[in-house]
Structure 1
Amino acid sequence: MKQPVKIPVSVVMITLNAERTLKQVLESVVDWADEIVIVDSGSADQTVAIAERFDCRIFDRKFTGFGAQKQFAIDQAHNPWVLILDADELVTEPLADEIVTLFSNGLPDCSGYTLPRNLIFLGRVLRHSGQNRQPVLRLFDRRQGGMTLVPVHESVRVEGAVGHLSGILVHYSYGSLHDYVLKMNQYTTLSAEEMAQRHKKATVALQGVRFLFTFAKIYVLKGGFLDGYPGFVWALLSAVYPVIKYSKLQEIQDGAEKPQTQPLLVVEKGVHSLNGTH
């Protein structure tokens, strides 16, 4: 049986408890990628064991923010060209074939390429809601660029021409609403901390307007209603996201502006309460 031809591309990703999707993601690239680099930040599940079965080059590193963590992974690659994936993004066969063809006659002419990405949410592909074939720059020459070094909502930036591929990258981002809430809690905290470092002020008075505008934009203007119930939930949670983010920013600002006092511990007939409340 003829072995697949490997192309000089390093697939790189960061992981943390990614066993839900990692096997399928690695299966989508192992036959054609020259190497797979994984930087794990302390997984407690089978993530590392799965990566070992695919002969990945595995590094353990404390999480320091998404931008810095991904850039560290990129820096470990042996090849100039890298494909950076999240551990829940699957390369479809048409996209894999397109990437292999791109490298069949040597290195590409562009500095990087965008891939159209589709989101799977509540078991359904969101064909609308602003998520259909969303272009993301993931395949690039690391000599021409890298990650933006921000804690969250990082992206790839390159110098030079950017081409566009047509094969789909499938994003299985949330296994359940529970997963979504966990990620939203993490991302909104990181975003609020990053905004606080930039001395951005929270505008609490605009929270209601911000919620309504975001929901209307996704559900109405971007056709989220055409995605059925998943589209409604996606629009709703997407509208909640900035409200929580700015509320956390306000919380940080309040903590910095107000004197910190220790709560008064009251003991009364064996009942403990804080600040005199039961």
Structure 2
Amino acid sequence: MLSIYILTYNEEIDIAACIESVMLSDDIIIVDSCSSDRTLEIASNYPVRTVQHPFESHGQQRTWMLESITPKYEWVYILEADERMTPELFNECIAATKNPEYIGYYVAERVMFMDHWIRYSTQYPRYQLRLFRHGKVWFTDYGHTEREVCDGATGFIKETYPHYTCSKGLTRWLEKHNRYSTDEARETLYQLENGTIDWQQLFLGKTEVERRRALKDLSLRTPLRPFIRFLYMYFILGGCLDGQPGLAWCTLQAFYEYLILLKVWEMKYSNTQQSIPSNQK
């Protein structure tokens, strides 16, 4: 059996469907970042544990969760409210926990946007560490999101999970990515000043995760980044095959890159520049 952590913040639209997708487990833990909507009220209708903790960052929230909330089982799975578990994925996760070789597993998402699976322009399959042995993994911040630190070998799950990235509407998506772009701009400045490109991982990386992270470091140094990202996603990855939703997705991602660059400029040259957090200096 698995313990399931679900991270939430104002998720009244998604939380019921998310919980119902993981009811195969009898240990579901809602880790809420002090929601102001009906998230916890809706969650109370289900046999789940709920804990609130003020949000600081994605990495810190996950690390606090793992250190402060003891799961019922040795193996845990992290889910966000706009994601779903499938029975096939759950069963494969259960089987994977019986392999003593690995302490964690990466799982790929299927990005759902405008009622369509964005199959091509999302670099599918894009893997994230979601299933792991409790006490063997913790997280650090990177840009608006996090990166895992693993104490042991990791593997990959074949089954995927749907991620409804715009389930709360385009306005919420834009508000969220406006916040994300500030964190990404800070990370960009830090990486440009202190980071390097791992060319070996870029061309010879053994996994999709290693190659993608090296490509990310390269992209931070690429001129005309928003334009190049659109061309890369729409034509090279094949976003044009995703139809109208694919065109909208690629356009939004290019806009997001441009917003990051504008904030990088503001932080470097404007009188309103925002300082880089001390933990990234």
Fold conserved between structures, TM > 0.5:
yes
Q: Judge conservation of contact 1:40–1:60 (CA < 8 Å) in 2.
A: yes
Identity of aligned residues (%): 30
Structure of larger gyration radius: 1
TM-score between the two structures when normalised by the length of structure 1: 0.79
Of 202, 210, 213, 2:228 maps to 213
Q: How does 1:165-180 map to 2 (within 5 A)?
A: 165-175=157-167, 176-180=169-173
Greater helix share, structure number:
2
Which position in structure 2 is the counterpart of 1:268? none
Q: How does 1:192-231 map to 2 (within 5 A)?
A: 192-196=185-189, 200=193, 209-231=224-246
Which position in structure 2 is the counterpart of 1:247? 262
Which position in structure 1 is the counterpart of 2:197? none
Determine whether 1:39 maps to 2:31.
Answer: yes
Pairwise CA distance, 1:12: 1.2
Q: Say how many residue pairs are matched.
A: 244
Q: Gapped runs of 5+ residues in structure 1?
A: 1-6, 259-278
For the aligned residues, what is the CA RMSD?
A: 2.4
Structure 1 counterpart of 2:90, which letter?
A: A
Runs of 4+ with >6 A deviation: none
Of 82, 94, 100, 2:88 maps to 94
Q: How does 1:7-86 map to 2 (within 5 A)?
A: 7=1, 9-32=2-25, 34-75=26-67, 76-78=69-71, 79-86=73-80
Bigger shift: residues 41-50 or 127-136: 127-136
Q: Judge conservation of contact 1:19–1:47 (CA < 8 Å) in 2.
A: yes
Determine whether 1:182 maps to 2:197.
Answer: no
Kindly provide the CA deviation profile for residues 71-95 of structure 1, in whole angstroms up to 9, marking residues without a partner as x. Answer: 2122213233211111111011211
Q: Judge conservation of contact 1:129–1:218 (CA < 8 Å) in 2.
A: yes
CA distance in 2, matches of 1:251, 1:179: 24
Bigger shift: residues 106-115 or 157-166: 106-115
Determine whether 1:122 maps to 2:114.
Answer: yes
Kindly provide the CA deviation profile for residues 223-247 of structure 1, in whole angstroms up to 9, marking residues without a partner as x. Answer: 0000001111111111111211121
SS in 2 for 1:20: coil
Q: Gapped runs of 5+ residues in structure 2?
A: 195-220, 274-281
TM-score between the two structures when normalised by the length of structure 2: 0.78
